[in-house]
Amino acid sequence: MSYDLFLGCVIPARLPFLETSSRKVFEKLGIKLNDVDGFSCCPDPTGIELIDQKTWLALGARNLSLCHNNGGVVSFCSGCVETLKGVNYAINKDYHAKEEVNTVLNKVGKSYDGKVEVKHFAEILYEYIDKVKAYIEKPLDGFKVAVHYGCHYLRPSEIINWDDPFEPKTVDEIVRALGAESIDYEMKMECCGNPVDKSDKDLSLVMIDQKLKAIQKAGANCVVVVCPACYQQYEFNQRELNKKNESNYEIPIFYLSELIALSFGYKPEELGFKFHRIRPNKLFENLDFIF
């Protein structure tokens, strides 16, 4: 199987090491990712869409018009997936919106019919879960993982059309397949607070503080995410919270692809773990997870 790859902005231009592990995992599983030149911002469903929805729709449709792979398009980012699925939903539901978008796209010699299938990378990994299991060289024994699904991976379910919007299971199942334990915690389904950062930093910190507190209380030793916005919210704010409050957060944050890559036997230096702000070295030592 092969897919066109939509990278978006945050992962390739700020957190490229997350791209490294994701590409490695797909390669190992024999799923071909086709790089496409000429994409713009997806655009951000928590940013550009709030400035002007018409622009969001037009740029999103333009991006989709560049995808020609039979398998459709895949992204490593929940925000990009929400936008691209949302654009499909909007223009397939509303004929006038489709006409209007195509009038704009015609100005640059493009058009879009609303038919490109969009998938989140975790969706595909879940489909390949048996193959994932077959490639495990180092089971993640002792990893007590707090799974954070994030919002846009799931909702609105009518648009995302994937896992259960309130009781999801896909990422938990992948985590368990790797030999790790998925730790249940209070507030598991709450938002990380990242989008609120644009308008109220303090409020967004309260939201992530609540989650980290619950994760610590439940005894998890790491967190797994499937969205770069959630990743940044969890990773970048722990030290800030420790300075502000009396917390002592030092919880490593993994991308789902990183956990899978670790179980496949890739080494921290191959995965760019040195770019993590909270390095997982201590966790590896504690668990005797030796490379």
Partner 1 sequence: MSIINFEFRNEVLKHNASLSYCYQCSTCSGGCPVALITNGKYNPRKIIEEAILGLKDRLVEKYDPNLWLCSTCQKCVELCPQKVELTEIFTLIKNLCFESGKVPEAFIAQGRSVLENGVAIPYSKAILTRREKLGLPVIKTAQIDEIKTILKETEFENHIPKEAE
Query: In this structure, what is the dihedral angle of CA atoms 12, 227, 20, 251, given to the nearest 10 degrees?
Result: 120
The residue among 7 and 180 lying less far from partner 1, judged by its C-beta, is 7
Total count of residues recorded for the chain? 291
The owner of tokens 């702000």 is: 277
DSSP state of 242: H
Residues contacting 174, CB < 8 A, separation 6+: 122, 125, 126, 129, 132, 256, 260
35 binds partner 1 (CB under 8 A): yes
- Contacts to partner 1 from residues 220-249, by CB under 8 A: none
Helix (H, G, I), strand (E, B) or coil at 32: strand
59 binds partner 1 (CB under 8 A): yes
161 binds partner 1 (CB under 8 A): no
Answer for which of 53, 111, 216, 247 binds partner 1 (CB under 8 A) is: 53
Least CB distance to partner 1 at residue 124 (A): 20
Answer for which of 27, 30, 32, 54 binds partner 1 (CB under 8 A) is: 54
How far is it, in rounded angstroms, from Cα 189 to Cα 206?
Answer: 16
Dihedral angle sign, alpha carbons of residues 8, 12, 18, 21: positive
Answer for which of 58, 223, 256, 278 binds partner 1 (CB under 8 A) is: 58
Contacting positions for partner 1 (CB under 8 A): 7, 9-10, 12-14, 16-17, 19-20, 23, 35, 37-41, 43-55, 58-59, 62, 104-105, 107-108, 151-152, 155-157, 165-166, 190-191, 193-200, 203, 206-207, 210, 272, 275
